[in-house]
Amino acid sequence: MFASRGISSVRETIQPVLEKPHFKRWVGVHLLFWRDRVTPRLIYLETFGCQMNEHDSEKILEILGAKYYRTTGKIHEADVILINTCTVREKPEHKVYSTLGRLRKLKQKRREMIIGVGGCLAQQEGERLFAKFPHLDLVFGTHNLHLLPTLLADIQRTGNQRCETCFYDRAPSMDLVPLVENKVRSYVTIMQGCDNFCSYCIVPSVRGPERSRPMAEILEEVRILAHRGSKEVILLGQNVNSYGKGLNGEASFPALLRGVNRVKGIERIRFTTSHPKDLSQDLITSFRDLPKLCEHIHLPFQSGSNSILHLMNRVYTREGYLAKIDRLRAVCPSIAITADVLVGFPGESQKDFEDTLDLIERVQFDNLFSFRYSKRKGSSASDLPEQIPDEIKRERLTVLQEVQKKITRRKNREMEGRREWVLVEGRSQKNPMEIMGRTRSNRIVNFPGGIDLIGKTVVVKIEKGFANSLRGVLRQDGAMPGDAQIIGQA
């Protein structure tokens, strides 16, 4: 029939169909579908902040990877730029703002490029970020990672800005296992959020209330990771010691550790972060009883002054903290202890600061992460009187860091001549011809060796202790008990 009426009449017949909006949409969707398979969209992802953010970034790449996005290290060739942000302190927040500002020029050159901001700052600021940075296309909160493919597709189709920052009871991305093969150390989320409300801290308002993952799910994830080649797992939560709250049954953090200790193929277990108020005797004795649990605890104390600890709402005293350190060392004398500490909290007197220095001298930490207190909008300490001038905060931080530097150096030097089990992680950053790994106490060791050792636990004799790392030499003479130079599966 068409043949007899000629080409023009065919065009007349199908033209109205082609003009129909749903047909145009159908074609658009299918073109995108095939284009994404033939030429994947390139994503450039930059991460600020802690291990939780690093792990969220792994999850973002997993979610988008399943939708045919591929990563690029070249920002100029990216179709999508995502910035995963941190707002815990002023300094990282300023860094994020200047990064976002710099992206304006890039967007002017390539209007089709999508720029998105996620993480804690996105959660806190939401749509206000569009007013500050009109070149942004997307703002997504800490519980909204799973929505990324839909949000990006929507922006691509409509050109509209999108903002999603709603909280879920349990963030859907909490259970996601990033599919990284042969990763020697892997993060495992065991809980989300925090219920503690330390008065200086913004985390509870940007990460939501504390929720624990069921133990069976976590153990299944650890088994999958072991199967894919991971040798070490780092269990992540803002306060891992209170893991299990709200779950039915026998779930507790020490019980979870015992479960992970039984997973075949996993050789080392670490966790972060612990709150001193919830550090139970059961957890302390786990360092003696669980062979895979590394002899290292990160136990932030924040201040050595009882009145400041009270104002911080930390719910322990310096005496209580010191007593817990004694109990840890009594069951595990070789345990390495690291911590976080703040200087310049509102009202901190010279005497309070000296109490902090005194606590540092008493404990002799293996390392410390020390920060100047910064006022966080929405945290209760931001309303406290007697904010400390910046100059004093800087001076105190310098003094504190000098004290700790000496202790760390001395402790690292004391390692010289010792033989250590080292799990090899990869090439050394200092010298790509060498390899690096960590001792059980979490010290980085650089030493000559082949990349065939990556993922193996080897014996290294420590030759030199520096400020931030150790240098050693591989021992292949069976010098370690058990006659093993390379330890296989645990």
- Residues forming the site for ligand SAM (CB under 6 A): 50, 88-89, 200-201, 203, 238-239, 273, 275, 300, 302, 340, 342, 371, 373-374, 376
Nearer Cβ to ligand SAM (187/373): 373
Q: Which is nearer to ligand SF4, 220 or 278 (CB)?
A: 278
Closest approach, Cβ 490 to ligand SF4, in A, equals 31
Q: 326, 352, 327, 330: which is closest to 341 by C-alpha?
A: 352
Apex CA 300: angle with CA 296 and CA 303, to 5°? 140
Return the residues of window 267-306 that contact ligand SF4 according to CB under 6 A.
Answer: 275
How many CB atoms neighbour CB 346 within 10 A? 19
Smallest gap from residue 248 Cβ to ligand SAM (A): 25
CA distance 215 to 192: 14
C-alpha neighbours within 13 Å on the C-beta side of residue 210: 18
Residue 462 binds which entry of ligand SF4, ligand SAM, none, with Cβ cut-offs from 5 to 8 Å by kind? Answer: none
92 binds ligand SF4 (CB under 6 A): no
Minimal distance, residue 195 CB to ligand SF4, in Å: 8
Closer of 130 and 301 to ligand SAM (Cβ): 301
In angstroms, give the least distance from the CB of 438 to ligand SAM: 21
Least distance in angstroms from the C-beta of 324 to ligand SF4: 16
Instruction: Kindly tell me which of 241 and 428 has the beta carbon lying closer to ligand SAM.
Output: 241
Q: Find the shortest distance in angstroms from Cβ 466 to ligand SAM.
A: 25
DSSP-assigned beta bridge partners for residue 233? 186, 269
Specify the DSSP class assigned to residue 302: B
Measure the CA–CA gap between 356 and 368, rounded to whole angstroms: 12
To ligand SF4, the closest distance from the beta carbon of 379 in angstroms equals 9
Q: How far is the CB of 50 from ligand SAM (least distance, A)?
A: 5
In the region spanning residues 176 to 235, those forming contacts with ligand SF4, defined by CB under 6 A, are 194, 196-198, 201, 203-204
Q: Which is nearer to ligand SAM, 80 or 339 (CB)?
A: 339
CB 133 to ligand SAM: min, Å = 23
CA distances from 248 to 104, 169, 172, 212, 363 (A): 49, 16, 20, 11, 37
- Interacting residue with ligand SF4 among 239, 286, 305, 408 (CB under 6 A): 239
Residue with nearest beta carbon to ligand SAM: 340
Residue 204's binding partner among ligand SF4, ligand SAM, none (Cβ under 5 to 8 angstroms by kind) is ligand SF4
Identify which of 142, 177, 152 has the alpha carbon closest to the alpha carbon of residue 58: 177
> Sign of the CA dihedral 171, 177, 183, 188?
positive
Q: Which does 55 bind (CB under 5 to 8 A by kind): ligand SAM, ligand SF4, none?
A: none
Binds 463: which of ligand SF4, ligand SAM, none (CB < 5-8 Å by kind): none
b or e along 291-315 (b: 16 or more beta carbons within 10 Å of the residue's beta carbon)? ebbbbbbbbbbbbbbbebbebbebe
Alpha-carbon span 7 to 337, nearest angstrom: 82
In Å, what is the CA distance from 447 to each residue of 160, 417, 433, 437? Answer: 52, 14, 9, 9
Q: Which of ligand SAM, ligand SF4, none lies near 89, with the C-beta cut-off 5 to 8 A by kind?
A: ligand SAM
Q: CB nearer to ligand SF4: give 56 or 137.
A: 56
Nearer Cβ to ligand SAM, position 51 or 334?
51
Out of 85, 144, 238, 356, point to the residue binding ligand SF4 (CB under 6 A): 238
Instruction: Name which of 365 and 371 has its Cβ closer to ligand SF4.
Output: 371
Could you give the CA distance from residue 251 to residue 244 in angstroms, rounded to a whole number? 5
Contacts of 129 (CB under 8 A, 6+ apart): 100, 117, 121, 122, 136, 139, 163
Q: How far is the CB of 193 from ligand SF4 (least distance, A)?
A: 9
How far, in whole angstroms, is CA 8 from its chain's centroid? 63
- 471 SS3 class: strand
In this complex, which beta carbon is closest to ligand SF4, that of residue 273 or of residue 439? 273
209 and 238 Cβ atoms separated by less than 8 Å: no
Looking at beta carbons only, is 213 or 275 nearer to ligand SF4?
Answer: 275
Closest separation between CB of residue 35 and ligand SAM, Å? 40
Q: Is 339 in the site for ligand SF4 (CB under 6 A)?
A: no
Token output for 158: 């409509």
Residue 296 near which of ligand SAM, ligand SF4, none (CB within 5-8 Å, type-dependent) = none
Q: Alpha-carbon distance 443 to 447, whole Å?
A: 13
C-beta closer to ligand SAM: residue 333 or 385: 385
Strand segments (E) across 88-159: 114-118, 138-140
**Contact footprint for ligand SF4 (CB under 6 A):** 194, 196-198, 201, 203-204, 238-239, 275
